[in-house]
Amino acid sequence: MTTLLWLRQDLRLHDQPALAAAAHQGPVIPVYILDDDAPGDWRIGGAQRWWLHHSLTSLGKALEQEGSRLILRRGDAVAILTGLMERTGADAIHAIRHYEPWWRKAEDALGERLCLHDGNHLAPPEQVRTGSGGQFRIYSAFWKGLQEHLPPERPLPVPDAIPAPEQWPDSDALAGWQLLPTTPDWSGRFDWTPGEDEARHKIAALDLEGYDDRRNMPAEEGTSRLSPHLHFGEVSPRAVWHASDPHDVTFRKELAWRDFTDGVVLALPDYADRNGRAAYDKLPWRSDAEASRDLRAWRRGRTGYPIVDAGMRQLWHSGWMHNRVRMITASFLVKHLLLDWREGERWFWDCLIDADYGNNAVNWQWVAGTGVDANMFGRIMAPLSQSEKFDAADYIREWVPELAHLPDDAIHDPDAAGCRPHDYPAKLIGHREARERALAANRKVR
């Protein structure tokens, strides 16, 4: 019995339950469909397209080594899969379950033709429920509830064989999709190796010594850098879990956060578009010409706050940003510039190689104070003191070369030190002034 294997953000052969089930039944036709019909602003972003090109190249080679191949198509996923079933005589479609609202809609449309499998979570979000049967909306409670489902099952091996059909359907040429960027000053420092082999190498070499502290230091390689591999499903969360040590609780909580965010968007599918707390619909975001100017300065890393500018330039040039700096730059946009968190969320979506619908939305609303599980809006990060506290001097030197010659005691705040170079911008707004403006706006909500 021939089956289709519908691949999305699960681009791997190891621990691939949908592949294992399909291979057990007979000939398998692996299919990846570039479906750009996601609603609103959720078409796959520019940085992710770079990663996708290389990840699909890697997966195609891996399948060829197993005597199979990867079929590429572009367009409406439901229509293409339905057509492929008719032309190939396939009896079923196997796929790993996804939680983005557009994928859930497509899964519903395929109905009984689709055999769904769980494989991109430590535990399926439908299983980790509150006492009343709903999805957890507070992470601490979710983590406690998740314990009943841990440890996750051991990862599956690659099937002994991936049977090939007698005849293969036509495939698009990957180069024809033009996924690679053409902007001259972008992606020049995308220092990444996409693909399952690299993901497995990283988890085999996982070193989490001192992770609790080092993960907050922007100038250090203190994070796992597994996030894009996890987003594209080049490695499964349970494979990462079993590669870590039981004492690595902080790291495992970070891994579980991804499960939590999918549970949030399962309960609130439009969470990336709407405030989790309706009261914040009344917040008076800035939207005039000066606000537009400030947004452009933030995107380009020209705010006058070195730690913010370093983060935004790292994002643009490398497709990634250190997690501590993600929080600082997000807080700056929302609290210092009083700009709608959705502006930042969309920019991250386009520029991050690991941009994830649930993770991105929940993280932005956590920082903004507008979410169901969020910081208080009145908690405003002080970027200058954060920069000094987490020893970001060398990080700033790497990404803001105008400041590279400054000593550690001046580089965090050149204005205060009286040594701001002429080619580095003055602050868009002072910290105290920004704080007072943000708190005044918040009072209107309350």
368-405 tens-digit pLDDT: 999 999 888 989 999 999 999 999 999 999 999 999 99
So what's the pLDDT on residue 188? Answer: 67
CATH architecture of residue range(s) 121-154+194-268: Alpha Horseshoe (1.25)
So what's the pLDDT on residue 37? Answer: 79
So what's the pLDDT on residue 186? Answer: 73
Active site residue 285: yes
So what's the pLDDT on residue 40? Answer: 80
User: Which one is catalytic: 186, 198, 257, 388?
Assistant: 257
- Mind listing the pLDDT tens digit for each residue in 159-174? 999 999 999 999 999 9
pLDDT, averaged across the chain: 96
Average pLDDT over residues 251-274: 97
Q: In CATH terms, is domain 278-445 a member of 1.10.579.10?
A: yes
Average pLDDT over residues 192-212: 95
So what's the pLDDT on residue 194? Answer: 98
Average pLDDT over residues 411-434: 96
Active site residue 186: no
- Mind listing the pLDDT tens digit for each residue in 285-334? 999 999 999 999 999 999 999 999 999 999 999 999 999 999 999 999 99
- Given CA atoms 136, 138, 139, 143 in this order, what sign does their dihedral have? negative
User: Which one is catalytic: 364, 366, 399, 442?
Assistant: 364
So what's the pLDDT on residue 189? Answer: 75
pTM: 0.96
**Domain segments of the chain as ranges:** 1-119, 121-154+194-268, 278-445
- Mind listing the pLDDT tens digit for each residue in 135-162? 999 999 999 999 999 999 999 999 999 9
Percent of all residues in the chain with a pLDDT value above 70, rounded to a whole number? 99
pLDDT above 90 (res 196): yes
So what's the pLDDT on residue 375? Answer: 84
pLDDT above 70 (res 224): yes
Active site residue 102: no
Active site residue 254: yes
User: Which one is catalytic: 323, 375, 388, 402?
Assistant: 323
So what's the pLDDT on residue 352? Answer: 97
CATH architecture of residue range(s) 1-119: 3-Layer(aba) Sandwich (3.40)
pLDDT above 90 (res 39): no
User: Which one is catalytic: 51, 341, 349, 399?
Assistant: 341
So what's the pLDDT on residue 185? Answer: 66
- Mind listing the pLDDT tens digit for each residue in 7-17? 999 999 999 99
- Mind listing the pLDDT tens digit for each residue in 55-65? 999 999 999 99
So what's the pLDDT on residue 167? Answer: 95
User: Which one is catalytic: 285, 375, 388, 398?
Assistant: 285
So what's the pLDDT on residue 184? Answer: 64
User: Which one is catalytic: 153, 198, 220, 254?
Assistant: 254
